[in-house]
Amino acid sequence: MMEGSAYARLTERFRRRALIGDALGILDWDQATTMPEGSADGRAEQIATLSVIRHELMVAPGVGESIGQAEVDLGDASPDDWRLGNLREMKRAHLLAAAVPSDLVAATARANAACEVRWRSARAENDFAGLLPALREVLNLIQQTAAARAEALSLAPYDALLEEYEAGTRMVTLDPLFDRLATHLPDVLLRIIERQNAQPAPVRPEGPFDIAAQRDLAAELMQALGFDFDRGRLDVSHHPFCGGATGDVRITTRYNEDDFTESLMGVLHETGHALYEAGLPDNWRFQPVGAALGMAIHESQSLLVEMQVSRSRPFLSFALPRMQASFGGRGPAWDVDNLYRLYTRVEPGFIRVDADEVTYPLHIILRYRLERAMLSGDLDLADLPGAWNDTMSELVGITPPEDRLGCLQDIHWPSGSFGYFPTYTLGAMAAAQFFSAAKRAMPGIEADIAAGRLAPLLSWLRTNVHGQASRHTADALLTRATGEPLNPDIFLDHLEARYLGDG
């Protein structure tokens, strides 16, 4: 396009927006890892100010008109033209931003930052009552945001929140899908547990496991998967995450000296996110079309690395000698078959991030139901601990003995992320579908993984997922890569094969 055209002006505006987002990403990472708690008020103001500047870039006079003119200018473009995808994402970002006034954006950013800091101590102290006032303020502001976006987009309030994380996803699609899982998975769970109980229990390697050794092992496996430490970091936080900025991907984990597998699997999960971010196309850096395609596809990349690859026999065959060297492991506990049974052990537990892939969707359905009820006002926040425990008992068959193992465990609601949780299970389904397609395309991929040759898989992902960024919709991306849109049967077949078949 000619310099000075409507589209060219938009690309410059969105470049600035992306750079502000990068700055916010580093501030968020610092807040979670190294910032002194006494700096929380100042950090909240910094985040709020940058959030408003970013928001105002989207709602400035003339942005909507520029988008309309760019649509006319690009009217003859090919359907696969990257610029059309970029304009589609620009329009979506503008509509989402224009629906919310700047003062609400600022207030929400302040409340989220303050509540996230308060959550850290509340979780450690098992103090839901202490978190309640700050969480109430966050929820109130999220309800206002949802109502504003719902009116502007002609959507239900919860659908308007979903739109921020996964474009086009609606409750009308999620409800039957999640109801099917909630009905189907408990029976599968019982069958798997019966099968496990008929076999000798896996032997858990005994600690303590030196934290420095855990970190070194994680870094070695991250590099084997393709992580570039010249453009990324591994640090410690209260809740594992992947963040940072373009070209500067930050992973965090938390360590347990009694069980190195908790941290390792968390790191490998976040590595999947990091590989996606690192594989986005340089030619479209700082443009909406060059960003990751929603959180379901993002979660598919983390769960593909963690669940599909890292918990497989081939990968454990490759990783075992490195585990033994890191911790001096010897004996029956350090046998590949034993570790495979340990890493694929299905057992209802309280903590979502430690859950196996059979019970994990049930953890998500619990959160989906509760956050919808909170948003609508059907569930008062003061009643959240009891509602959590009742729903956990209904879905998973266990009841948390304390809130830190229940409604206090996740950072998402304190940080204002309502509507995010469903993408985890959508991502798990997409992960199974992507990996199934990769195995069809490369029949020797599992032998490559066992030999530590992980580059072919990463290359396939770079071509079919990472490098496509937001060029297509999620269903179109899945169809191009796998031959069909999201199909939950592939995920359910994977569970049957791994846990009730030959693995």
Whether 270 is catalytic:
yes
Q: Are 245 and 26 in contact (CB under 8 A)?
A: yes
Residue 300: alpha-carbon gap to chain centroid: 8
The type of residue at 423 is T
Q: Are 500 and 316 in contact (CB under 8 A)?
A: no
The type of residue at 310 is S
Burial class (CB within 10 angstroms; exposed 0-12, middle 13-18, buried 19+) of 292: middle
* Catalytic one of 163, 262, 270, 371: 270
- How many other CB atoms are found less than 10 A from the CB of residue 486? 19
Angle at 23 between CA 22 and CA 24, to 5 degrees: 90
CA distances from residue 447 to 10, 93, 176, 423, 494 in whole angstroms, order as listed: 47, 43, 38, 31, 19
Sort strands 248-253 and 232-236 into parallel, antiparallel or unpaired: parallel
Cα–Cα distance between 157 and 419 in angstroms, integer?
10
Q: Of how many residues is the chain composed?
A: 503
Q: Are 300 and 254 in contact (CB under 8 A)?
A: no
Instruction: Map residue 285 onto helix, strand or coil.
Output: coil
Cα–Cα distance between 365 and 174 in angstroms, integer?
10
Cα–Cα distance between 292 and 51 in angstroms, integer?
20
Residue in 40, 78, 92 with CA at minimum distance from that of residue 414: 40
Active site residues per annotation: 270
